[in-house]
Amino acid sequence: DAGAITVLPGSVQRVLTYQVQNDGNDVQDFRLQAQDAPAAAFGLTETFDAINVNVFADGNGNGVYDAAVDNVTYVDELAADAAAVVFVVADIPGTVVMDDVASYDLLAIAATGGGAAALGADAVEDAGADNPAVIQIVFGDGAGTADAVRDGMLSSRDSYLVANANLTLAKSSLTAEDPFNGTTNPKAIPGARVTYTLDLGNTGSGAADNVSIVDAIPANTAFRVGSAASNGTVVFSNDGGVTWTYTPAADANGNDTNVTHLQVNYALLGGGGTTEQTTFDVVIQ
């Protein structure tokens, strides 16, 4: 990663991303190991340890951690001069506070290749005399963040940085049309269509996971079927928000008086001033 990965207290399966490159001249496996770093990367100060720390190779080569796919804990059969993406995946304790830091060194240890879907034995340097009759292993690696020169491995350090989400929510309404004036100076009278707007923002430095907005359909109005627009997932309730499985059905006027609430769900809301907007219409009864 180019910088520390921001996380929230209590977040799970947060990912640090590394690249392992085979600078040798033959196919190799790499045994992977993540270890708690004594100091942080990127000029930060180490303050806590993550939990449930695991290492996985990128199984489908898309560069993104996929829990259902990326479950191999070593790099398999990496060709000479080729590179593979590796993930350190960990959970963040709920007790951490803003600006806390946890760092991990990824160690990639050279291993013998030649057998697919199986980790070879760690490579061993040949300390004997030159022998043209056999393949001899010579380590040429430099020192990493947690290993020495020419030790058959290389390490790199990455960090989690705890940030906070700061959510804001604003609701506004606009009378869009009424039965007598149309869209010209419409009034909030029976039969008028009113548009409600929900503006959700995150001014914090950290992204927020699994954000939900719940809003009640105002009394003496009916939800306009098909009017909800959002980048989030919108679901509906007909029992005061107890359940969220109701599917609105339009009456002869295009409305549904059974809708009592709507909920908007976001899997992830980024930080740094990210905003999302939801709109929906009701008709005054």
CATH number, residue 275: 2.60.40
Total count of domains within the chain: 2
DSSP assigned state of 191: T
Q: Same structural domain for residues 9 and 103?
A: yes
Q: Considering 128, 162, 196, which residue would you say is the last residue of a domain?
A: 162
Query: What residues make up the domain containing 78?
Result: 5-162
Cα separation values, 40 from 148, 189, 191, 277, Å: 18, 62, 62, 38
What is the amino acid identity at position 78? L
**Strand, coil or helix: what is 98?**
coil
Q: Considering 133, 162, 191, which residue would you say is the last residue of a domain?
A: 162
- Residue 209: phi and psi, rounded to 5, are -95, 145
Residue whose C-alpha is closest to residue 222's, from 232, 236, 207: 236
HEC profile for 168-182? Answer: EEEEEEEEEEECCCE
pLDDT in tens, 87-136: 999 999 999 999 999 999 999 999 999 889 999 999 999 988 999 998 89
Spatial distance between the Cα atoms of 107 and 113, rounded to a whole number of angstroms: 18
DSSP assigned state of 40: -
Q: Same structural domain for residues 147 and 31?
A: yes
Q: Same structural domain for residues 29 and 150?
A: yes
Residue whose C-alpha is closest to residue 63's, from 87, 30, 81: 87
Q: Same structural domain for residues 173 and 35?
A: no
Cα separation values, 24 from 61, 100, 165, Å: 21, 38, 44
- pLDDT tens over the chain, length 285 residues: 999 999 989 999 999 999 999 999 999 999 999 999 999 999 999 999 999 999 999 999 999 999 999 999 999 999 999 999 999 999 999 999 999 999 999 999 999 998 899 999 999 999 889 999 988 999 999 999 999 999 999 999 999 999 988 999 999 999 999 999 999 999 999 999 999 999 999 998 888 889 999 999 999 999 999 999 999 999 999 999 999 999 999 999 999 999 999 999 999 898 889 999 999 999 999
Spatial distance between the Cα atoms of 166 and 240, rounded to a whole number of angstroms: 28
Whole-model pTM: value is 0.71
